[in-house]
A and B are shown apart, each in its own frame.
Chain A
Amino acid sequence: MSINVLKAGLQTTIQDSGREGFREYGIASNGALDEYSQRMANWLVGKSAGETTLEITQIGPTLEFEADMTIGVTGANFEILVNDQPQTTNKTLQLKAGDVVKFGKLYSGARAYLAFSGQLTTDTIMGSQSTNLLAGFGGNRGLALKDGDRLNVVSEIFNQTRQIPEALQQEHHHNLQQHHLIVRFTQGREFDLLSDESRNVFLQTNYQVSSSSSRMAVTLEGENLALGDDLSMTTVPIVAGTVQLPSHGQPIITLADGQTTGGYPRIGQVISADLSLLAQLKPNDSVSFYPATIAQAHKALMQKEQYLKTLLTE
């Protein structure tokens, strides 16, 4: 059976938890930008964190399901219609053969995740079904979905009905409705080279998210930052969350599709627990940086993990 893409939306891609072990060949991890939302969507259909989902960006798709299927949608807060009837989101939805799921208005956030009970039969490349848009491989032949695409799925049903606990939903929605996010960062290797003034500016600026942001990077606009002294840097490995400062003085944050190496000063590193938040930023939202230590970063991650484990029970 297949999922028929009646309308593809702005950028709908197939993403799992991503690939590991290929950065040395210049290939980033790819995978869901908001792992937490993806995990919750998978939980709604009885799947493990990191299993293959659709990542839906700002304008959602319209999808027709050829067979009975269980789906779950979380992340950005969209109006969801099944055969034109509004649905409660963050809850398991049982679809009948022929049902049409339409993503309507986007209320908050930028990226939603649609998990489904069936198994997608697309190729696994470098250990993952995730779409690498840059090099054009993985997922839907390396591309975002297009109108008229058909995704082959082995049909399966998940018989339970689950709902994301209210506390988790509220926390998530509170974050998304602000249009401003605070992300915690640890100091990058070149943080100390920022001029004293620039260090303060970095901590105090509400950076605007630029429209050139993508799955590769969040590009920011705000007051210019400068290094105290000129620095000649060699190309170094970077990871998701690395905040670099190009010569134009506006920071960029690397995401899951970002380059594996960079040549700009690394002023910060967004902590792992807050990486998912970056996925929910839209152009003209704003973001500010709050300092954390490595120990605090680790603690935040453990707390988040523990919290999810407690709430998302079988």
Chain B
Amino acid sequence: MSQPELFINSDNSIIIEFDDAISLKLTRYILGVKLSIEKAKLEGFVEAVPAYDSLLILFDAETFHPERHWQQLHSIVKTAQPIDNRDSQRYVIPVCYDLEVAPDLPFVADHAGLTTDDVIQLHSEQDYPVYMLGFLPGFLYLGELKSQLHCPRRSAPRAKIEAGSVAIGGSQTGIYPIDSPGGWHIIGKTPMKMLDVSASNPAIAKPLDIITFKPIGLEEFKQYEH
């Protein structure tokens, strides 16, 4: 891994930028840096927010000392080690791909020149590692979709995509944890709750966990819902 660079991002934050290409190896390193920073209990530290190739360190604005905090973070980063995958878990998400809850499945199939069954097969036979969370509460940014399934976003976003919708946008797939406007194609729906606000980790998974989708029928989907 190349040495990351630190920048003053605002009057209460520093951003650490990692020059390497996005990979799970990089994510392990970013999470290692995050853990070392959290352990250091720096004055005014509020929280650390990891992303694909950056890590934001947020401080209390009143006690933020840009130079001192920059130096402290710089020396922590120098010795930080990647975390291992031991805590990583696999989550199997039941997904109903029935057209009743998958309005855009035919479009995605047409676009790919495949049958809807092919799309379901391709979408559900792959492991998706979690890289980061963001965009919506509990939204998981997952590893890349098989290239056959890449599909440009809808030209007109929907005003409301329901919680649990499984969708494809560009080269990504994801699960909407809450109702939200969105431009991704809805290819299925999970009856599982993606957000538990009373849990210490309110999201269903954390970075480096593995998500897989298990097709279920409409009957089973409706039973789950009750």
Residues of B within 8 A of A134 (CB): 136-137, 178
Instruction: Evaluate contact between A237 and B10: CB separation under 8 angstroms.
Output: no
Residues of A within 8 A of B80 (CB): none
Considering only residues 259-283 of chain A, those with a C-beta below 8 Å from chain B are 259-261, 269, 271-272
Looking at the assembled complex, report how far the CB atom of B49 sits from the nearest CB atom of chain A, in whole angstroms.
4
Q: Mark A17-32, 1 if CB is under 8 A from B, else 0.
A: 0001111111100000
A214 to B13, CA, bound (A): 24
A86 to B220, CA, bound (A): 60
Query: With an 8 A cutoff between CB atoms, is A1 at the interface?
Result: no
Residues of A within 8 A of B197 (CB): 125-126, 135, 137-138
Q: At the interface with chain A, which of B52-60, B102-110, B154-162?
A: B52-60
Looking at the assembled complex, report how far the CB atom of A194 sits from the nearest CB atom of chain B, in whole angstroms.
17
Q: Mark B103-128, 1 if CB is under 8 A from A, else 0.
A: 00000000000000000000000000
Looking at the assembled complex, report how far the CB atom of B99 sits from the nearest CB atom of chain A, in whole angstroms.
28
Q: At the interface with chain A, which of B61-69, B86-94, B142-150, B184-192?
A: B61-69
- With A26-B139, A27-B202 known as contacts, the answer to whether A189 contacts B15 (CB < 8 A) is yes
Closest to B8 in A: A294
Closest to B141 in A: A235
Partner of B202, one of A25, A235, A261, A298: A25
A52 to B139, CA, bound (A): 28
A305 to B53, CA, bound (A): 35
Q: Mark B169-201, 1 if CB is under 8 A from A, else 0.
A: 000000001100000000000000001011001
Considering only residues 206-246 of chain A, those with a C-beta below 8 Å from chain B are 234-237, 239, 241-242
B residues at A contact (CB < 8 Å):
7-13, 15, 22, 46-56, 58, 61-62, 64, 66, 132-139, 141, 177-178, 195, 197-198, 201-203
What are the 9 tightest A-B residue pairs by CB atom distance, in nearest-first order? Answer: A261-B134, A237-B56, A297-B11, A237-B49, A272-B61, A269-B10, A135-B137, A137-B197, A23-B49
